[in-house]
Amino acid sequence: MDIKQLKFLIALDETRHFGQAAARCHITQPTLSMRLRSLEEELDLPLVNRGQRFEGFTAPGERVLAWARTVLAACDGLQAEAAACRGNLVGTLRLGVVPLSSFDPLPLMQQLHAEHPNLRFELSALSSEQILEQLANNRLDLGVSYLERLDSERFDSLAFSETRMGLLYDQRFFSFGEKPLSWEALIELPLGMLTSGMHFRQSIDHNFHSRGLSPQPLLQTDAVHQLLQAVHGGLCCAVMPLEGGLETLTEHLRLQPIENAQTLGRLGLIMRRSAPRSALAEACFAHYQKSQTSS
């Protein structure tokens, strides 16, 4: 058994296709199949359900796959640890962020990249549940998520300031003056929203319903970029985080504060407590903590 076989196994899980997994690993498909069969023979276990195409992993294969991720994470952590001892950060920081977070990861990534040019970033938009699950499984290094119901015995966290909300609109199609908007005024507007069940949407619904208001959104979507496109096209306006920096995406977007508008829960930066925890995750967590203390 070697590290490459474990990488092949993970590539197959991520692509769900033998040919694509082989291409990702820069080998031929027969070589991939041969190396995976060799792994199965060594472990004396069937790992992959095979037909004319990839049909998923066996139950033992799923368990071996979880160990493969842990082993590779430990290998990456070893290299990152050695680099950290030399005063460098290398590798890939895997960061998961809930949709419409008030946390803008760009400044953190810019600072870290300026200090450590060999550092790379992998940014994923995930639900709160997915972030905690992937942190626990060591598929993420850091997460930005809501802190209610967070298990402090399993995760370290740094709480952000309260998330305030505003109305994002395109000034070519709408104009609202200078004063903060009321929720009553918003009910008359064509609104775009994330779909029900998403955490940020729950906060919007709570603010409306607590005032006896029932919004009828013109557009609902589970994709933030589609919502932004609809706002930029003048189809609708959208309630967004006030400090998210979304109004800077184009010269036409504006973000108007809303009176008494906060999300239901606090956001924070989250890192798993248990090993294996890479030096890369710890260094970035400490870097953000230090930047907040000095600001």
Instruction: Considering the domain delimited by 3-67, tell me its CATH architecture.
Output: Orthogonal Bundle (1.10)
Report pLDDT digits (tens) over 44-96.
Answer: 999 999 877 888 899 999 999 988 988 887 777 777 777 767 777 777 889 99
According to the model, what pLDDT value does residue 89 have?
A: 75
> How many Cβ atoms from other residues are within 10 Å of residue 273's Cβ?
13
Is pTM, for the whole model, over 0.75?
no
By DSSP bridging, strand 164-170 and strand 253-262 are antiparallel
What burial letters (b/e) apply to 14-49, b meaning 16+ CB within 10 Å?
A: ebeebeebbebbebeeeebbebbeebbeeeeeebbe
Assign 29 a pLDDT band (cuts: 50, 70, 90).
Answer: very high
Query: Amino acid identity of 176?
Result: F
Pinpoint the residues of the chain covered by CATH 1.10.10.10.
3-67
Phi, psi of 280 (to 5 degrees): -65, -45
The one-character DSSP state at 182 is P
Q: 89-161+266-293, what's its fold?
A: D-Maltodextrin-Binding Protein; domain 2 (3.40.190)
pLDDT in tens, 85-141: 777 777 788 999 988 887 888 888 888 888 888 888 999 988 888 999 999 887 889
What is the per-residue pLDDT across 162-211, written as a single tens digit (0 to 9) for each? 889 999 999 999 999 889 999 999 999 999 999 988 888 999 999 999 99
How big is the chain, counted in residues? 295
Cα gap 117→113, rounded to integer Å:
5
Q: Where in the chain is the domain with CATH 3.40.190.290?
A: 164-262
Supply the pLDDT for residue 294. Answer: 66
Start-end of CATH 3.40.190.10 domains in the chain: 89-161+266-293
Confidence of residue 156 (pLDDT cuts 50, 70, 90): very high
pLDDT surpasses 70 at 295: no
Distance of CA 120 to the CA centre of its chain: 15
CATH of domain 164-262: 3.40.190.290
Average pLDDT over residues 227-233: 95
Distance of alpha carbon 160 from alpha carbon 147, whole angstroms: 10
Of the ranges 171-175, 211-215, 216-220, 240-244, which one carries the lowest mean pLDDT score? Answer: 240-244
